[in-house]
């Protein structure tokens, strides 16, 4: 698990949420001079627009020193990309593509970040790949001979069946995002019920789950849904800004 704080954002671009999300992450970043935040984004035609949105969100909370690193399966994240980083944010987009560009090389760069206690923030896809076991996408689940629809195909991330893969291992629970906006808590419910993950949090847009040591706190304008398996049944908690729980 991470030594530094971890910030898991459910997406969304409401400026009213930035002090609760980007602002809290930025406040945790420390450097010898002006802190440098590295924003890791998927390479492609929309990369510059994606970075502009992230940079504007940081600017709104008073952070100007933000540098992009663009990654892909063919140009994965490297240790040298993060050498000068006082904080790292992994942005949003197609989650399987982020996984392929970031997780396979984590053994080369992640230990350095952990040793330095560098804060990690994940926005949407960046939050989904942060756990030890991450929900990467999918909108169907096979149960015996039956195929169940478990969420809208619109949030399938180009994956047909529920796809759970090893992630970065920064938190011990799975994460889904855009929760109330796109109905992804049902995907999380099925992932926990099927035993693919032991616990998970589905996070609304403009909302963040902040993990500091053994404490989890919800920040922002919406809700986070905590799903756990208990005694052959599921428990669901709905938490809002300022609510907190212990990491289990």
Mean pLDDT rounded to a whole number for the chain:
95
State residue 93's pLDDT score: 97
Please write the tens of the pLDDT for every residue from 178-226: 999 999 999 999 999 999 999 999 999 999 999 999 999 999 999 999 9
What is the C-alpha separation between 246 and 173, in angstroms, rounded? 12
Please write the tens of the pLDDT for every residue from 206-217: 999 999 999 999
In a domain? residue 212 = yes
Question: What's 76's domain CATH number?
Answer: 3.40.50.880
What pTM did the predictor assign? 0.96
pLDDT bucket at 3, cuts 50 / 70 / 90: confident
Please write the tens of the pLDDT for every residue from 91-145: 999 999 999 999 999 999 999 999 999 999 999 999 999 999 999 999 999 988 9
HEC profile for the chain?
Answer: CCCCCEEEECCCCCHHHCCCCHHHHHHHCCCCCCCCEEEEEECCCCHHHHHHHHHHHHHHCCCCCEEEEEECCCCCCCHHHHCCCCEEEECCCCHHHHHHHHCCCHHHHHHHHHHHCCCEEEECHHHHCCECEEEEECCEEEECCEEEECCCHHHCCCCCECEEEECCCCECCEEEECHHHHCCHHHHHHHHHCCCCCEEEEECCCEEEEEECCEEEEEECCCEEEEEEECCEEEEEEECCCCEEECC
| Mean pLDDT along residues 167-185 | 98
Q: How many other C-beta atoms can be found within 10 angstroms of the C-beta atom of residue 119?
A: 26
pLDDT of residue 27 exceeding 60, the answer is: yes
| Mean pLDDT along residues 22-32 | 85
Count CA atoms within 13 Å of residue 203 on its CB side: 34
% of the chain residues with pLDDT over 90: 92
| Mean pLDDT along residues 30-45 | 82
In a domain? residue 101 = yes
Domain count, the chain: 1
- Domain, as residue range, for 242: 6-246
In a domain? residue 171 = yes
In a domain? residue 1 = no
What is the C-alpha separation between 121 and 210, in angstroms, rounded? 9
| Mean pLDDT along residues 157-172 | 97
Q: Is the dihedral of CA 80, 81, 84, 87 positive or negative?
A: negative
């Amino acid at each position: 698990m991470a030594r530094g704080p971890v910030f898991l954002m459910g997406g969304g671009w409401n400026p009213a949420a930035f002090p609760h999300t980007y602002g809290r992450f930025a406040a945790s970043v420390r450097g010898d001079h002006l802190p440098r935040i590295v924003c890791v984004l998927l390479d492609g035609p929309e990369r510059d627009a994606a970075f502009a949105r992230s940079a504007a969100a940081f600017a709104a909370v008073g952070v100007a020193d933000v540098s992009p690193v663009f990654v892909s399966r063919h140009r994965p994240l490297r240790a040298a990309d993060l050498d000068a980083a006082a904080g790292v944010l992994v942005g949003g987009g197609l989650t399987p593509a982020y996984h392929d560009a970031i997780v396979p090389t984590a053994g080369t760069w992640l230990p350095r970040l952990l040793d330095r206690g560098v804060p990690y923030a994940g926005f949407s896809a960046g939050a989904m790949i942060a756990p030890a076991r991450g929900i990467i996408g999918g909108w169907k689940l096979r149960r015996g001979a039956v195929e169940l629809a478990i969420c809208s195909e619109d949030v399938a991330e180009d994956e047909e069946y529920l796809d759970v893969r090893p992630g970065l291992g920064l938190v011990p629970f799975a994460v889904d995002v855009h929760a109330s906006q796109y109905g992804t808590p049902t995907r999380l419910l099925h992932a926990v019920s099927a035993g693919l993950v032991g616990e998970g949090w589905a996070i609304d847009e403009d909302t963040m789950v902040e993990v500091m040591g053994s404490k989890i706190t919800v920040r922002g304008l919406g809700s986070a849904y905590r799903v756990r398996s208990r005694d052959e049944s599921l428990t669901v908690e709905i938490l809002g800004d300022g609510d907190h729980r212990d990491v289990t």
